[in-house]
Amino acid sequence: MGNILQISCDVGAMFNRCPDCALGKAAYITDLKDNVVALTTELEQLIAAKNDVMTRVLNAEHQHKMKRLNQVQLWLSRVETLKTEVDELMGRDGGSQEIDKLCLGGYCSRNCKSSYKFGRKVVKRLRDVKALKGEAVFQEVAVPDPESVADERPTEPTVVGLQSQLEQVWRCLVQEPAAGIIGLYGMGGVGKTTLLTQINNKFVDNPKDFDYVIWVVVSKDLQLEKIQETIGKKIGLCNDSWKNKSLEEKAQDIFETLSKKKFALLLDDLWERVDLKKVGVPLPSSSNSPKNSAVVFTTRFVDVCGGMEARRMFKVACLSDGDAWELFREKVGEETIESHHSIPELAQTVAKECDGLPLALITIGRAMAYKKTPEEWRYAIEVLRRSASEFAGLGKEVYPLLKFSYDCLPNDAIRSCFLYCCLYPEDYIIYKRDLIDCWICEGFLDAAKFGTQNQGYHIVTTLVRACLLEEVEDDQVKMHDVIRDMALWITCEIEKEKEGFLVYAGSGLTEAPADVRGWEMVRRLSLMTNSIENLPIVPTCPRLLTLFLNDIKLRTITGGFFQSMPCLTVLKMSDNETLQQLPMGISKLVSLQLLDISKTSVQELPEELKALVNLKCLNLDWARELFEVPQQLLSNFSRLRVLRMFGIGIRPFFRAICFKYENVVEDLLGLKYLEVLDISFRSFKAYQTFLSSQKLRSSTKALMLDEFDREESIDVADLADLEQLNTLYFRSCDWSGGLKIDCKDMVQKSRQPYVFRSLEEVTVDSCRNLKHLTFLVFAPNLKSISVRYCDHMEEIISAGEFDDIPEMTGIISSPLAKLQRLRLERLRNLKSIYWKPLPLPRLKELEFRGCDSLKKLPLDSNSANGRRILIRGNEDWWRRLQWEDEATQNACVLVSVFS
């Protein structure tokens, strides 16, 4: 009949082997293959989602300096953990081993217990993966870092009378809807910048959901590119490629970033309307601007408020009599006020003469702080009243009050030193030493005395204490713009015939002023910080003493330019990197006492310069392409007091051949008036000649050893008695023996624990064989250390160098106490800076690039001294750091940089 297929199946045995099937959980086995495939697919999609989120996070952190949200970080961590769990579950074979155990078409397993357990885990992981994938919807992945919303700016406590205005403006910023564009206007010196600074600083502790608070100093010389650069730095756009973009391209980048963020743009000192659209700033009142963004600016002119379309305007007025008296009393001091029974009444009269102007109250109050006789106060009242009655307009309201501090300066020489500062552009940072060099050569200082540099620094301090100059750093000052205006007013109105100033500094010129005839009566002329590439004119300047041509992008000067300047004493042509040759006519300047061609591309000094026998100051610093200085040229300048030749000829194709031979140093030995020497050496023989001269050693303030290539080492103890040495630079010195640092020998030679008392700045660049810089502990006033490209550097300060030197106990307990900046770059073998935590109360900046072996910093919670320490470095390196404790880590903040 038909074929019969007989299948024998032991059902009882089967159910004994699959007890879970009988319990209704057979799906863990029957769906195992599909679940494994689904788990693999879902996990791939989850990882893709995770990568997308991570890309957004990194973009926000690196480009926009933002901080990832905690919920995003938690989700990323959970994804990583779950992926690890799935990988462990699936094994190397991706679960195929368990699938191979299935039988009966996948409805059963040869090892039901194993397949059941595996299948149940697969289902659980599948459920977890789907759940995490569903959570991967983040509208925002990062928020502005609270540390970087606003940068705190130094300021004095808010004047009592300005406190109410501060609160008014603050409410306009944080209310809904915000005022948008806010203008603060008022006369110079009334406190507008102080008010804006206080607003900025309120954001530090009260971000109020703002993403960026951006401070920009605009000033009279309006340059949109500078505004863009400041904004770009704050919002993370300002890299090298971005700097090369056009104004329009930068504007588009700024717009795209700020249109998605809530920002406050603080513009200080507007003299005219700023076209925010050209800068790239979304107008707060437009639909393209984030809700409640704001622009706040200060100006002296109410018309600017109209031009800026300010929705709210606040006039920053002078103080009431009561508030003015409190401010004045504070600046004079109780000791002086109570020093005589007549002074309180006289002081109130002086305060009233200031008419509530904060800058005048502060300036004159400080000037009167130690006047403790009624006669001095009565004289002050007479001077204020007499000056105030002589001038109309602005002079009647402001400048006579400020001029009082000028009148109170000890002598005419110091007054001339002060007026000299107005030759520099507005908001310009002036190096004290450059200013003093000019003063010496102008004859303001006592040339008969040796030590005119010290006298110069004393005058700088006098002007700072009189509030006529502001100290920026220890070596830098600037002039408040109102004070500068007052100084210009004095030179034009009060001392017009005597001083004869003509100042075009920072005025945007692209060629020399047309009215060259107007130079005939001028004594001091400043064209600096402009864009005047060529000077083809031949002016007649019989009275000209000072000429500033620095930083004007100068390329060429006609040979006859200097022929009618017989009295020229100071000539500054520095910061013109496009200037490659000096004009032959410069030899006509026989009265010249200062020649500054630092930071130019001048390649040789012509023999004709020997005619400049009256030179007192020659500045060649960082003339990187200078390769020829004729023999006996320097010795011809017998009156030279200041010679700066630091970092010259260091470009690869321009080697300063003159410094390969000792005759250059021999040229200097005869300069009997030399006070200041900044010098570079490439020849060991010249270096030895230098060391043998006590005269040169005692004059040296900056020393560079450049490309020393010797088999033996250089003994740093040879520099121990350079008492004036401020700056030390080792560059490309490949000593096979390294730098000899014998601490015991140094102590014995100097007979004192601290050797380099004047040393403030040390740079070590590309010295491959150096292993440590332990000699730095002998520099108690060191402020800046920069070390880069030293392949063998293992320690900055080595503990092993102090064995058996009992005199060192006090030194090594707290070295580097005045250190402000430490920059280490490409030190691949560096493992230690110092072997234990250091108190660093003045530390401002730490930067590390390419120091991957450095695992621990010499910091603890006491190092911060209650401050946050900003550390620039790479994130990977940062994650590997070992911290003294959690408090130390919390006190430090990474500012990420790319290695």
10-residue mean pLDDT series, the chain (899 residues): 41 43 61 78 88 88 78 89 84 66 63 76 84 85 71 75 84 79 85 90 84 88 88 84 88 91 91 91 74 87 86 87 91 93 93 81 85 90 61 52 79 94 92 93 76 84 83 86 83 76 90 83 94 92 95 92 94 95 91 96 91 94 88 89 90 50 75 90 85 90 83 76 91 72 63 76 90 88 94 86 58 78 94 89 88 91 77 90 88 74
Q: CB of 730 within 8 A of CB of 753? A: no
Collapse the DSSP code of 106 into the 3-class scheme (helix H, G, I; strand E, B; otherwise coil) and give the result.
Answer: helix
What is the reported pLDDT for 15? 40
What is the reported pLDDT for 422? 94
What is the reported pLDDT for 300? 79
What kind of fold does domain 319-408 have according to CATH? Helicase, Ruva Protein; domain 3 (1.10.8)
H-helix or E-strand spanning residue 824: strand 821-825
Q: CB of 39 within 8 A of CB of 120? A: no
**Burial class for 394, CB neighbours closer than 10 Å (0-12, 13-18, 19+):** middle
* pTM, entire model: 0.66
Residue 845 to residue 847: CA distance in whole angstroms: 7
Which residue ranges make up each domain of the chain? 11-143, 146-315, 319-408, 413-480
What is the reported pLDDT for 725? 94
Whether the domain at 146-315 and the domain at 319-408 fall into the same CATH topology = no
Q: Where are the alpha helices (DSSP H) in 368-407?
A: 374-388, 394-397, 399-407
Of 225, 209, 222, residue with least CA distance to 272: 222
Q: Which residues contact 393 (CB under 8 A, 6 or more apart)?
A: none
What is the reported pLDDT for 389? 35
CATH (one of 3.40.50.300, 3.40.50.10310, 3.60.10.10, 3.90.1150.10) for 146-315: 3.40.50.300
CATH number for the domain running over 413-480: 1.10.10
SS3 track for 724-756: CCCEEEEECCCCCCCEECCHHHHHHHHCCCCCC
What is the reported pLDDT for 353? 79
Angle between helical axes of 321-332 and 358-367 (0-180°, round to 10): 30
H-helix or E-strand spanning residue 700: strand 700-706
391 to 386, 409, 607: CA distances (angstroms): 10, 21, 52
Q: Where are the alpha helices (DSSP H) in 533-662?
A: 633-636
